[in-house]
Amino acid sequence: MPRATLQRTRLQATVQRLGDAAVVHLTGRLVRGEGCSHLRDVVLGEADADLIVINLAQVDRVDAWGLGVLLRLREWARSKQITFKLMNTLNQVEQVLRLTRLDHVFEFCSVRELFCLMHRAANIPKQAVVA
């Protein structure tokens, strides 16, 4: 497989902390493979958050395996009293969620809600670091 194709298909996840919320930005395809395991590890590492938002703006494909991972992460979050939301679903991903009727299962984070999180996080005083 050419390197450029491999880079596009590999799922990458980065976390942006906004106060007590963690926004997990995904890039690539949410399909069976090591990317789903990486996503699981990243989200489980945010166990101290009150809210976890999965940003799917850069995800162009999701398969049944990826949906299963999202559902398991949602259930894990609920068991820890963590709110779990999706945001920025692209057409193909949105269609899969609608066809599987999972659009009624997941909660979605609006742009307004994200801006409120960013504003609140910007107003949190930085804690002094003691050396």
pLDDT for 65-122, tens place per residue? 999 999 999 999 999 999 999 999 988 999 999 999 999 999 999 888 888 888 777 7
Domains and CATH numbers, the chain: 3-122 (3.30.750.24)
Residue found by looking up tokens 């990826």 in the block: 66
What's the predicted TM-score (pTM) here?
Answer: 0.84
Express each pLDDT in 22-66 by its tens digit. 999 999 999 998 788 999 999 999 999 999 999 999 998 999 999
Order of strands across the sheet that contains 107-108: 12-18, 21-30, 51-62, 83-87, 107-108
Q: Is 122 exposed, middle or buried (0-12, 13-18, 19+ CB in 10 A)?
A: exposed
